[in-house]
């Protein structure tokens, strides 16, 4: 029973990491920018929702506004920072260093404006739980699982079926041709980061509700998400989402076998194995860009 509970806990946190992973992967495979500051936007959105709830806003409104804050900050990040660097022919390394800088700035803004301490949402329903066949799921956990799957399916359908989704895939596939066929890649890059950042706001808020938040802990979430993206195959949304769940389940189950502080090491151990044995990932698209 313990194993089943740990397994379910792993699946749920894997769903949350999966959203971080697909949103990071979506932007990375379109632009090639290693957007470390995704973790900063994650933190920012979580705290925006927390502050709104603390100020008396209904939770659903707080969540929606956090999503909006994510979209706006993502759009602004591409428009103000990355695009200007790209216009000056910045190398991928320069872009990543700028992104690390932005991450630091965002984390510290959150600490200054909101709180540098651990904070929890003040909502009574968050401690309620469901018992299904002997497995306990907290209300926020149930919400995470449900919402994550809806968003994952939504992004996949958006990418495959809609005009903008196809245009984004075309730009990811051949940016130079996109420029000379008037697909306007510069503008679309900003849309993509807005979409990615809106998505990442959701796990930021829901995980914050389920557990607690601190300004400086989001990077480890992003690292797990990046490991999942690479293991799943860069450019593959199902690969990134699926591998996030696999990694989170392994991390969760490892607690039963080894001391808890080694659980993250277990994930990175798997990452090292992947890099050595199957560096292209499990489900890599045939023609996509590589790291």
Partner 1 sequence: MTLEARKLVAGYGDKSILEEVSFTLEDGEILAFFGHNGAGKSTTLKAVIGLIETRGGEILLDGERIDQLPIGQRLERGLRLLPERRGVFPDLSVEESIDVVAQRNCSRDGCKITRSDVYDLLPVLRERRKVIAGEMSGGQQQMLAFALALLGSPRCILLEEPSVGLQPDLVEELFAKIREICGRLSISAILIEHKIASAMKIANHVIIINSGRLVFSGPKTEAEKINLWNYF
**Is residue 116 classed as helix, strand or coil in its secondary structure?**
coil
Residue 167 is a binding residue for partner 1 (CB under 8 A) = yes
Torsion of CA 40, 231, 86, 75, to 10 degrees: -40
Residue 79 is a binding residue for partner 1 (CB under 8 A) = no
Stretch that binds partner 1, among 98-106, 141-149, 213-221, 283-291 (CB under 8 A): 283-291
Number of residues that bind partner 1 (CB under 8 A): 22
Residue 163 is a binding residue for partner 1 (CB under 8 A) = yes
Candidates 5, 83, 174, 217; binder of partner 1 (CB under 8 A) is: 174
Candidates 4, 94, 118, 177; binder of partner 1 (CB under 8 A) is: 177
Residue 56 dihedral angles phi and psi, to the nearest 5°: 105, 5
> CA–CA separation, 286 vs 219, rounded Å?
30
Pair type for strands 129-132 and 135-138: antiparallel
> CA–CA separation, 172 vs 187, rounded Å?
13
The neighbouring-strand residues paired with 119 are 213
Q: Crossing angle of helices 163-173/139-161, nearest 10°? A: 80
Stretch that binds partner 1, among 39-47, 96-104, 168-176, 244-252 (CB under 8 A): 168-176
Stretch that binds partner 1, among 101-109, 145-153, 175-183, 263-271 (CB under 8 A): 175-183
Residue 285 is a binding residue for partner 1 (CB under 8 A) = yes
> CA–CA separation, 225 vs 244, rounded Å?
6
Between 170 and 291, whose beta carbon lies closer to partner 1?
170
> CA–CA separation, 144 vs 203, rounded Å?
7
Between 180 and 257, whose beta carbon lies closer to partner 1?
180
Candidates 55, 180, 257, 277; binder of partner 1 (CB under 8 A) is: 180
Q: Which residues bind partner 1 (CB under 8 A)?
A: 163, 166-167, 169-170, 172-174, 176-184, 235, 285-288
């Amino acid at each position: 029973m313990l194993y089943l509970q740990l397994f379910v806990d792993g699946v749920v946190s894997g769903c949350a990491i999966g959203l971080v992973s697909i949103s990071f992967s979506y932007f990375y495979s379109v632009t090639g920018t290693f957007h470390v500051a995704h973790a900063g936007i994650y933190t920012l959105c979580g705290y925006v929702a927390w502050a709104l709830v603390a100020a008396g806003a209904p939770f659903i409104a707080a969540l929606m506004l956090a999503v909006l804050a994510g979209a706006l900050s993502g759009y602004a990040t591409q428009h103000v920072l990355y695009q200007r660097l790209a216009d000056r022919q910045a190398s991928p390394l320069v872009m990543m260093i700028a992104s690390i800088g932005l991450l630091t700035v965002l984390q510290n803004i959150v600490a200054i404006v909101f709180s540098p301490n651990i904070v929890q949402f003040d909502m009574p329903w968050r401690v309620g739980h469901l018992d299904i066949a002997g497995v306990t799921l907290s209300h926020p956990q149930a919400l995470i699982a449900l919402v994550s799957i809806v968003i994952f399916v939504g992004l996949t359908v958006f990418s495959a079926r809609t005009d903008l989704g196809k245009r984004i895939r075309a730009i990811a596939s051949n940016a130079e041709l996109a420029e000379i066929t008037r697909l306007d890649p510069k503008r679309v890059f900003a849309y993509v980061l807005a979409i990615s950042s809106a998505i990442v706001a959701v796990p930021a808020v829901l995980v914050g509700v389920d557990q607690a938040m601190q300004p400086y802990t989001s990077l480890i979430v992003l690292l797990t998400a990046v490991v999942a993206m690479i293991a799943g195959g860069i450019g593959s949304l199902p690969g990134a989402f699926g591998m996030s769940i696999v990694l989170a389940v392994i991390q969760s189950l490892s607690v039963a076998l080894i001391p808890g502080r080694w659980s993250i090491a277990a994930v990175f151990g798997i990452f090292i194995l992947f890099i050595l044995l199957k560096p292209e990932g499990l489900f890599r698209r045939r023609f996509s860009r590589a790291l």
